[in-house]
Amino acid sequence: MTTLRRRLALLVVRGRRLSMPPTLTALLAAVLAWELVGQVAQVSFFPPISAVVVRLVELIAEGSILPNLAGSLRNLAIGFSIASVAGVTIGVLMGLSWRVEAALDMYVYALLTTPSLIFAPVFFTIFGLGQEVVIALIVLYSILYVIVGTMTAIRSAPAPVVEMARSYGANRWQIFVRIRLPAAIPLLMAAFLVAAPIAVKGMINGEMFIAVFGLGEIVTRAGGRFDATTVLAVLLIVIVLAFASIEIVRAVDRRLTGWLPPTARAQSMRR
């Protein structure tokens, strides 16, 4: 019996070592389900993922993807950089001053509840059909989440620690740099974790519905031909971009919050 128990325990340990991560398991399950439904249904609007991947390879070989992807990534980088700098600045001011918050919070929350594409005619009038209109839409999509997240993060510093620093003669700048900012980093990175994929969404919406170029141009033209395979092929690229943006934010978060215990970092990223 003892030998049998040891063998069973060894099998369990080996099974745990060979088991796939939950994310990879869920991804493989989704891919298999997509392929199965596509093969069984045999409908033009939902091709199997194998056909979508073949079409994606064809688009890359034709030279249709990489130049458009480069343009889309450039717009995304510019737009998200502007949203990050402006959003953090406004969020810090709102977090530190109740007067600034009282003046701006109604506009921030009103814009959060308003579909961003409503402002497309305004952006079109101001910027025309160039890349500037897409950049403006990316900024509008993501900056509000950065503002709200930054404001909440700045206020996350423990009040007793702030009061103790004041009692020892620390000024507002010292309290901000040494207490509020370090305490705010975990929640601030959580805000960027939300804003980054939303910026990708703003990019593709802007390229599809306002200025037709980049990846959005491919989707728009394929949609006009009812070419679902091409649309889904570009959709795969957009999904990869969204996940890549999330992983970049997570990498930066691990770099900035390495001093935190692992449980604290996990809790901050779930908020």
15 confidence band (pLDDT: 50, 70, 90): very low
* For residue 98, pLDDT beyond 90: no
* For residue 95, pLDDT beyond 70: yes
Q: What is the pLDDT of residue 147?
A: 93
Express each pLDDT in 240-250 by its tens digit: 888 888 888 88
* For residue 23, pLDDT beyond 80: no
In this structure, is the dihedral angle defined by the CA atoms of residues 44, 242, 126 and 105, taken in order, positive or negative?
positive
CA distance 234 to 31: 16
pTM: 0.77
Over residues 108-122, mean pLDDT? 80
17 confidence band (pLDDT: 50, 70, 90): very low
Q: What is the pLDDT of residue 260?
A: 61
Q: What is the pLDDT of residue 1?
A: 46
CA distance 124 to 26: 41
Q: What is the pLDDT of residue 35?
A: 79
* For residue 66, pLDDT beyond 80: yes
Q: To the nearest whole number, what is the mean pLDDT of the chain?
A: 80
Is the model more confident about 22 or about 134? 134
Q: What is the pLDDT of residue 12?
A: 44
Q: What is the pLDDT of residue 206?
A: 81
Residue 131: Cβ within 10 Å count: 20
* For residue 178, pLDDT beyond 60: yes
Q: Which of 85, 96, 98 lies closest to 195 in space, CA to CA?
A: 85
Over residues 61-65, mean pLDDT? 83
* For residue 19, pLDDT beyond 80: no
3-state secondary structure the chain: CHHHHHHHHHHHHHHHHHCCCHHHHHHHHHHHHHHHHHHHHCCCCCCCHHHHHHHHHHHHHHCCCHHHHHHHHHHHHHHHHHHHHHHHHHHHHHHHCHHHHHHHHHHHHHHHCCCHHHHHHHHHHHHCCCHHHHHHHHHHHHHHHHHHHHHHHHCCCCHHHHHHHHHCCCCHHHHHHHHHHHHHHHHHHHHHHHHHHHHHHHHHHHHHHCCCCCHHHHHHHHHHCCCHHHHHHHHHHHHHHHHHHHHHHHHHHHHHCCCCCHHHHHHHHHC
